[in-house]
Amino acid sequence: MSAVSVTTPAPTGGMRGSRRTVILALALGAFGIGTTEFVAMGLLPSIAESLGTSEPTAGHVISAYALGVVVGAPLIAALTARMSRRTLLIALMIAFTVGNAATVFAQSYGMLMFARFIAGLPHGAYFGVASLVAAYLAGPSSRAKAVGQVMLGLSVANVVGVPAATWLGSALGWRAAFVVVAAIGLLTIAALWWYLPSLTGMKITNPMTELGALVRPQVWFTLFIGIVGFGGMFAFYTYINTTLTSVSGVSESLIPIALMLFGLGMVAGNLAGGWLADRGVVRAIAIGLVAIMAMLLLFALLASNAWAALALTFLIGLSGTALTPALQIRLMDVADDAQTLAAALNHSALNIANAGGAWLGGLVIAAGYGYRAPSVLGAGLAVAGLLVLALALLYARRTKRKAAPVVEPLVTADAR
């Protein structure tokens, strides 16, 4: 039996608001996490200047946050397996708020690196547990839609939170941006405390049960689909500024509009991806990967046309993000009784995809293939994701066939 049921809707008793209100509170936390994850990128020059270091060195604070995500997701999910999901979500938001408050008061490069690492630790576990809670509250027919709505906070952060915090940080100093993030954390803590029900119907597990996710082949297949498939999108997105200005001829002043288009595509992708996944998880993953491949290839072909490039920037954001709810639901399905760890690992995988896609995209540019090359590379990575999905389905079919009981004939040859 699954440790945390995602197929039975939770009772409404004890809830101070509607299920939609609870999911909105969960999405608010996702909004804060999305804002803090990306806002440092636009404030690196200010951070470097205030700490008396170079911009490349200051860029390591982004890596420190990503390392916190990768380490924290499996570690927290396993060690807190016995905790109430309600208590855990509030505790994760408290840790997130403390990490961002420490960022505000960091007076040295080392302190800032440590603060960003601490801020990143609850990232994956929060999204994993929040997804499980949203699916539990929504019931079997709308669980992917509910997960997509939680993830919507991350997408909206790219459209609203990051630009607003970056502007504030530029105007008042980079620390002001993280004051806002810490305030969002405090608001989320209050919302979860007030609206999140006790969730007593969600069964808790133990660390050894959760670690069992690591020996399930389908969990690893799904994580690799995310790493490879999302790697393609990040290979494109990392170099979007230079690609649009040098290849598409887009004015530097229009780059914020392009980034906003990508963010709007992410918002639409979460909604579309949740709708698709509720109608078939595997099919939604396949559609998402095919869409990523097609949009990236089209971008490589049409990048010299500014209008086509801007439209495709929106569509790449949409097709890439549409994959998220389906991957999250599939991890929860194939993990059996280790759903918390599996769901949290999804965000470790996406951070690996971010780093890997950026690295591979940089390699093809450095090799002299130009700024269209990361899009072509990304399309190839999407194809690789489809191959991993095919291998996962083939493995599942063979495993099922081997596990099928042997039916003895009713009449033996001797009897005949």
Is there a single domain that holds both residue 124 and residue 269? Answer: no
Residue 361 lies in a domain: yes
| Domain CATH number, residue 77 | 1.20.1250.20
Integer angstrom CA distances of residue 268 from 105, 260, 309, 384: 36, 12, 18, 25
Rounded CA separation 347/343 (Å): 8
Residue 173 lies in a domain: yes
Is there a single domain that holds both residue 170 and residue 296? Answer: no
Six-digit token pair at 269?
Answer: 């992708």
The answer, as to whether pTM is greater than 0.85, is no
Residue 382 is predicted with a pLDDT of 93
Is there a single domain that holds both residue 213 and residue 178? Answer: no
Is there a single domain that holds both residue 376 and residue 241? Answer: yes
Is there a single domain that holds both residue 196 and residue 299? Answer: no
Residue 210 has pLDDT above 60, yes or no: yes
Higher pLDDT, 45 or 261: 261
- Structural domain count, the chain: 2
Residue 15 is predicted with a pLDDT of 56
SS3 413: coil
Of 181, 204, 227, which closes a domain?
A: 204
Among 263, 256, 387, 365, CA closest to 316: 263
Mean pLDDT, rounded, for 241-245: 84
Can you spell out the DSSP letters for 38-105? HHHHHTHHHHHHHHT--HHHHTHHHHHHHHHHHHHHHHHHHHTTTS-HHHHHHHHHHHHHHHHHHHHH
Is there a single domain that holds both residue 177 and residue 222? Answer: no
Residue numbers of the domain that contains 45? 1-204
Mean pLDDT, rounded, for 360-376: 88
Is there a single domain that holds both residue 153 and residue 298? Answer: no
Residue 410 is predicted with a pLDDT of 46
Residue 405 is predicted with a pLDDT of 55
Residue 7 has pLDDT above 50, yes or no: no
Residue 2 is predicted with a pLDDT of 38
Is there a single domain that holds both residue 183 and residue 325? Answer: no
Residue 408 lies in a domain: no
Mean pLDDT over each residue of the chain, to the nearest integer: 84
Among 326, 329, 295, CA closest to 313: 295
* 68-100 pLDDT per residue, tens: 888 888 888 888 888 888 999 999 999 999 999
pLDDT band at 6; cut points 50, 70, 90 = very low
Residue 415 lies in a domain: no
Six-digit token pair at 196?
Answer: 């999140």
Residue 410 lies in a domain: no
Residue 416 is predicted with a pLDDT of 38
Residue 404 is predicted with a pLDDT of 56
Which phi and psi (to 5°) does residue 405 adopt? -65, 145
Is there a single domain that holds both residue 325 and residue 370? Answer: yes
Of 204, 221, 241, which closes a domain?
A: 204
Is there a single domain that holds both residue 262 and residue 354? Answer: yes
pLDDT band at 8; cut points 50, 70, 90 = very low
Residue 135 has pLDDT above 80, yes or no: yes
Of 145, 175, 204, which closes a domain?
A: 204
C-alpha dihedral (329, 335, 338, 342), degrees to nearest 10: -60
Six-digit token pair at 383?
Answer: 């194809």
* 370-390 pLDDT per residue, tens: 889 999 999 999 999 999 999
Q: Could you give the percent of the chain with pLDDT greater than 90?
A: 32
Residue 230 is predicted with a pLDDT of 83
Among 132, 129, 131, CA closest to 73: 129
Is there a single domain that holds both residue 388 and residue 260? Answer: yes
Residue 31 is predicted with a pLDDT of 94
Residue 290 has pLDDT above 70, yes or no: yes
Mean pLDDT, rounded, for 337-341: 77
Is there a single domain that holds both residue 149 and residue 258? Answer: no
